[in-house]
Structure 1
């Protein structure tokens, strides 16, 4: 089952100087038809003018994955030192028992970021933060796991983080990424009872004969395998979560 959402139909929210395009209901954007996809609760594209700040929270019991697609942002939370994340970097913030003072501030140039909010399996715990530069991920065709709540996705326990190791989520979900040249394809297979959500970051791809352009998304349910083919050079993110959204 495939449910496509076109970029021009997304909800829009203005929060201070930040402008958000929302795939699911968020803040002032109320949309009963688009509430979540499995245990993926939020997918937002956030645009920030130079030096502008996006503030969220307080938040608890959610894993927030931030992917910077343009410029750089300084991220801050009461539990952690301020950190700068640049284009191509990801931040995973597991809010656990609760975090306040969450903010992402653009640098000297305008910035854009994508945020995926995952529901963890259990409530509570200690807040955690990881920041990774994805340039260290293997440069191979296909989907690469960039964040995961499955220990088997990173079986080696080392004090030093290996290049390409996924950042840790508290929930049993994954966020994956692929970059494809025109005519290249990427296949992904999951297990029964999972929900998939695909977002085209840039370029154009086809999925089951349907063309998806930059900003378009597709929610996939009752399907364990998908194959995308790039019609032009493309960057794609894919979330894999449990179907249950309780």
Structure 2
């Protein structure tokens, strides 16, 4: 089953100077029809003017994946040193027992970032943070795993692709990315009992005959395989989580 959400229908939240487009209910945006997708709780597109800051939290028992699509941001949390995340970098912050003072501040230029919030399999634990540059991932036109809670997705024994290992999640989910030229396709296959959520970051793709433009998303359930075809140069993110949202 395919459920499409168009970019112009997204919820909008203004938090200080930060402006958020929300695919699910978040903060002041209340939407009973769009609460989550499996164990994926939040998908936000965040715009920050130069030097502006987005503050969240305190948060616990959620894995926050931040992917920078424009500019750079400095991320801070009381548990970790400040780090700069540049375009193409991802940050995975596993809040575990709790993190406070979470913030992302744009540099000298405006910044755009995407956040995916995943529920972990178990509550508690020690907060963790990883930052990776996705340019070090294997060069392929298919979907590449950039964050995962599955140990088998980490090629830690393969010396030649160690730099392309995904960042670690505490839940049994994945975040994948693909960059396609016009006419190219990418296929993904999962296992029964999973929920898929696809977000077009840029460009235009087709999914099961449906055209999706930048900012559009699609929730896919009760099927184990999908195929997208790029109608123009495109960048796409795909989340794969357990269907049960308990």
Show the 5 A alignment for 1:156-235: 156=156, 162-235=162-235
For residues 138 and 161 of structure 1, the distance between their equivalents in structure 2, rounded to whole angstroms, comes to 7
Provide the secondary structure at the position in 1 that maps to 2:176: strand
How many residues were matched structurally? 246
SS at match of 2:160: coil
CA shift at 1:138, angstroms? 1.0
Q: Following TM superposition, by how much is the alpha carbon of 1:162 offset from its aligned partner in structure 2, in angstroms?
A: 2.0
Which 5+ residue runs of structure 2 have no aligned equivalent? none
SS of residue matched to 1:162: helix
Task: Give distance in 1, aligned partners of 2:62 and 2:158.
Answer: 26
Does the Cα contact within 8 Å between 2:155 and 2:161 map onto a contact in 1?
Answer: no
Native 8 Å contact 2:155 2:162 kept in 1: no
- Alignment RMSD: 1.3
CA contact (8 A) 2:76 2:103 kept: yes
Task: State the 1:155 CA deviation.
Answer: 4.0
State the partner residue of 1:69. 69
What TM-score, normalized to structure 1?
Answer: 0.98
CA positional deviation for 1:158: 8.7
For residues 169-200 of structure 1, the C-alpha deviation after alignment (integer angstroms, 9 at most, x for no partner) is 00000000000000000000000000000000
CA distance in structure 2 between the aligned counterparts of 1:3 and 1:37, rounded to whole angstroms: 11
**Compared CA separation, residues 211 and 79, structure 1 to 2 (3 A):** same
User: Structure 1: where are the runs of 5+ without partners?
Assistant: none
1:156 CA drift (Å) = 1.9
Q: Normalising by structure 2, what TM-score?
A: 0.98
Instruction: Measure the CA separation in 2 of the matches of 1:158 and 1:232.
Output: 34
> For the Cα contact (< 8 Å) 2:155–2:165, is it kept in 1?
no
Q: Displacement, 1:139?
A: 1.3
Q: Distance in 1 between matches of 2:141 and 2:13?
A: 35
Structure 2 CA distance, aligned partners of 1:188 and 1:155?
Answer: 19
SS at match of 2:112: strand
Runs of 4+ in 1 over 3 A off after TM superposition: 157-161
Give SS of 2:108's match.
coil
Give deviations 1:46-75, integer Å, cap 9, x for gaps. Answer: 000000000000000000000000000000
